[in-house]
Amino acid sequence: MIIQGRVFKFGDDLDTDAILPGQYLSISNPEELAKHCMEGYQQDFPQKIKQGDIFVGGSNFGCGSSREHAPIAIKAAGVSCVIAKSFARIFYRNGINIGLPLFECAEAYEGIDEGDTVQIDTNNGLIKNLTKATQFQAMPLPDFIKDIIMSGGLVEYVKNKLKNSRRISL
Amino acid sequence: MGYTITEKILLDHTQVKNIKPGDIIQVDVDFIMTNDISGPVSVKQFEKMGAKKVFDIERMAIILDHFTPNKDLSAAEACKTMRNFAEKYGIKNFYDAGSGIEHVIMHEKGYVKPGDLIIGGDSHTVTYGGLGAFSTGVGSTDLAGVMALGKIWLKVPSQLRFVYKGKIPEWVGGKDLIIYTIGQIGTDGARYKTMEFSGEVIKGLEIEDRLTMCNMAIEAGAKNGIIEPDDKTECYMREEIGITEYRVYKSDDDARYEATFEFDVSNLEPQVAVPFSPGNAKGVSEVTGIPIDQVVIGSCTNGRLKDLREAAKILKNNKVHPKVRAIIFPGSKKIYKQALKEGLIDIFINSGAMIAIPGCGVCFGGHMGVLAEGERAVSTTNRNFVGRMGHKSSEVFLSNPAVAAASAIKGVIAHPEEVV
């Protein structure tokens, strides 16, 4: 799959309270959560996001709480992909599990500015900065993660496993 | 080549015979836990997965603690979803509003034993490493998968060892050690890794302090925090919990660590993490005198009996500063009752502090204690991100219970020695 979009850039340690403030955690409807995406970072940020936009973050993106509401809000707001120097571990699992493409690439972080247009090939992790005519290679996804993504997320993956009577190998 | 305690627990929960950091393994889970935040999303995903039953109803707990007692309609619906789920699927280990905080209930009720592998729908699930268990937090969909299958995939984390030496000074405890440590390695210093706490200082720590340390391992990005069980652990399990059968694992002498950090804590003063990162560690003397509006004592980090006793020692025969709202919330109903029995609650009320219902609301700006624009709090909780406890311009300073109590009296950040 080829993803293309306009970039919003963030620094290191963007935490889940910034992505989705705690006061909204009793909401579980993705469309409602999307209305508050990044509100803890900037109050009017939700209005700025357009379908297909790409987030580029520094190290430890999504640190803090285990709230899946954070990647759900990002995805439901229309963000097509997050590229970061590195991800916090729970955020990474959550993103993959709900089908939000995530790529780790420190060079891309350095070579992409806010407002650039970026294209990503999710199959091989090739990131092209169309604005600057440069390209970067993200860490390829491990096979088991590709399996989950191929199934359409963890829900479909487990559904298939439950259907099959053979030994579970989650 | 030997293994660490974490690696040994993982090995005993997987089919694979050898493991090394970076391996992806499937593990059998001993116990799972969820709450009124991660739970409703998990329930939705669980049903979408087509699951008909929870893998083992005896090995799951549902604890409603984040927006309880129901803050508003949305919270009420979330709690109702969980209540209905517990009834429909027969989850008996169900704790409704006011029972306590998940990470306190979990060990209090004996759902955590040394050597267990526990997965929870909350990032502070790492707490149970204080008893020598492997425990880590996941999001809602991951948890739904474990609810259905009783298994989860994990990447074997690389191992970091922290050795604490010297004589621990007065007023310094587990909270100070962990804030200091995060200050040294940074908030991503243990990202994806294990933090194994050891050394003579750790051996001398009470169980409560050990739980506090492991609780905040996530604040350095860790997958788990862990402390080898010892006589104190065994005594706690036997006397407090009434459980004597479990598996004790210890790290081999030739276990492999990616790095070992040694800290001599003999001259450490109480630590305060200043806004807006748990890694902004400072000695309390560097920040004394900063005016505050609120003090919060409690949470999954510092809401246990020992924490309340420490706060009471400071607040006894003292008054909370008239400009400060002091909120104290015991970690569970059991702790609340014991605090009543010991007269701690009397001390708090007489000092002018208020007692809140056991729960998580204050810590994450959920409800009960939200900060207004520009307000500042000293809190024994675990996070001080931008807007964590309310308005984006409000500030949270993280500390141990004694520093928080002393600050409540002085109306400014204070060292406990200033009031006793």
Listed range (A71-75, A96-100, B187-191, B316-320) with the worst mean pLDDT: A96-100
Q: Is B37 on the interface with A (CB under 8 A)?
A: yes
Band (pLDDT 50/70/90 cuts) for residue B183 is very high
Residue A168 confidence (pLDDT): 46
Q: What is the DSSP letter of B217?
A: G
Number of Cβ atoms within 10 Å of the Cβ of A3: 16
Alpha-carbon gap: A133 to the closest alpha carbon of chain B (Å): 32
Residue A167 confidence (pLDDT): 47
Alpha-carbon gap: B46 to the closest alpha carbon of chain A (Å): 8
Ramachandran region, residue A64 (left: φ > 0; alpha: ψ -120 to 50; beta: rest): left
CB within 8 Å of chain A, chain B residues 139-168: 139-142, 144-145, 148-149, 151-153
Number of Cβ atoms within 10 Å of the Cβ of B192: 18
Q: What is the pLDDT of residues B398-417, one digit of tens each?
A: 999 999 999 999 999 999 99
Q: Which helix (H) or strand (E) holds A152?
A: none
Q: What is the pLDDT of residues A18-67, one digit of tens each?
A: 999 999 999 999 999 999 999 999 999 999 999 999 999 999 999 999 99
Beta bridge partners, B253, equal none
Proportion of chain B above pLDDT 90, given as a percent: 99
CA B184 – CA B223 distance, rounded (Å):
18
Spell out which residues of chain A touch residue B366, defining contact as CB-CB under 8 Å: 22-23, 25
Nearest residue of A to residue B120 by CA position? Answer: A66
Alpha-carbon gap: A82 to the closest alpha carbon of chain B (Å): 18
Same fold, B11-263 and B273-418: yes
Residue B7 confidence (pLDDT): 98
B393 pLDDT more than 70: yes
The mean per-residue pLDDT over the stretch A83-107 comes to 94
CA B190 – CA B87 distance, rounded (Å):
39
Whether domain B11-263 has CATH 3.30.499.10: the reply is yes
Nearest residue of A to residue B145 by CA position? Answer: A158
Q: Is B13 on the interface with A (CB under 8 A)?
A: no
Residue B299 confidence (pLDDT): 98
Listed range (A147-156, B113-122, B231-240) with the worst mean pLDDT: A147-156
CA B389 – CA B372 distance, rounded (Å):
9
CB within 8 Å of chain A, chain B residues 102-121: 121
Nearest residue of A to residue B147 by CA position? Answer: A158
Query: What contacts A19, CB < 8 A, 6 or more positions away?
Result: A37, A38, A40, A41, A62, A70, A73, A74
Proportion of chain B above pLDDT 70, given as a percent: 100
Band (pLDDT 50/70/90 cuts) for residue B257 is very high
Beta bridge partners, A7, equal A54
Sign of CA dihedral B343, B344, B348, B354: negative
* Cβ-contact B259, B159 below 8 angstroms: no
- State the alpha helices, DSSP H only, in B258-370: 299-302, 305-315, 333-341, 344-351
Secondary structure of residue A10 in the 3-state scheme: coil
Closest by CA position to A79, among listed A60, A64, A93, A99: A99
Closest by CA position to A10, among listed A46, A49, A58: A58
CATH top-level class of B273-418: alpha beta
Query: What contacts B289, CB < 8 A, 6 or more positions away?
Result: B412, B413
When CB atoms are compared, the residue of A28, A60, A161 closest to B41 is A28
Band (pLDDT 50/70/90 cuts) for residue B142 is very high
Residue A81 confidence (pLDDT): 94
Identity of the residue numbered B211: L
B227 pLDDT more than 90: yes
Cis ω on the peptide bond leading into residue B276 (within 30° of 0)? yes
Q: What is the DSSP letter of B269?
A: P
**E strand intervals along A88-139:** 102-104, 117-121, 126-129, 134-137
What is the CA A2 to chain-centroid distance, rounded? 15
When CB atoms are compared, the residue of A23, A89, A154 closest to B221 is A89
Residue A163 confidence (pLDDT): 82
Q: What is the mean pLDDT of chain B?
A: 97
When CB atoms are compared, the residue of B36, B49, B188 closest to A159 is B49
With 0-12 CB in 10 A as exposed, 13-18 as middle and 19+ as buried, what is A138?
Answer: buried
The larger pLDDT score, comparing residue A167 to residue B148, is at B148
Closest by CA position to A54, among listed A106, A93, A107, A101: A101
The larger pLDDT score, comparing residue A157 to residue B63, is at B63
Q: What is the pLDDT of residues B197-222, one digit of tens each?
A: 999 999 999 999 999 999 999 999 99
Q: What is the pLDDT of residues A104-139, one digit of tens each?
A: 999 999 999 999 999 999 888 999 999 999 999 997
* Cβ-contact B118, B29 below 8 angstroms: yes
Number of Cβ atoms within 10 Å of the Cβ of B340: 13
Beta bridge partners, A82, equal A55, A102
Residue A23 confidence (pLDDT): 94
Q: What is the pLDDT of residues B23-51, one digit of tens each?
A: 989 999 999 999 999 999 999 999 999 99
Residue A166 confidence (pLDDT): 45
Residue B35 confidence (pLDDT): 98
B249 pLDDT more than 50: yes
- Domain residue spans of chain B: 11-263, 273-418
Spell out which residues of chain A touch residue B187, defining contact as CB-CB under 8 Å: 13, 60, 63
Band (pLDDT 50/70/90 cuts) for residue B169 is very high
- Number of C-alpha atoms within 13 angstroms, CB side, residue B205? 31
CA A128 – CA A107 distance, rounded (Å):
12
CB within 8 Å of chain A, chain B residues 331-360: none
B328 pLDDT more than 50: yes
- For an interface test with A, give the residue of B123, B124, B300 to mutate (most A CBs within 10 A): B123
Spell out which residues of chain A touch residue B38, defining contact as CB-CB under 8 Å: 66-68
Q: Which residues of B2-32 are buried (b: 16+ CB within 10 A; e: fewer)?
A: ebbbbbbbbbebbeeeebebeeebbbebbbb
Spell out which residues of chain A touch residue B188, defining contact as CB-CB under 8 Å: 12-13, 59-60, 63, 86, 88
Backbone phi and psi for residue A78, each to the nearest 5 degrees, phi listed first = 105, 0
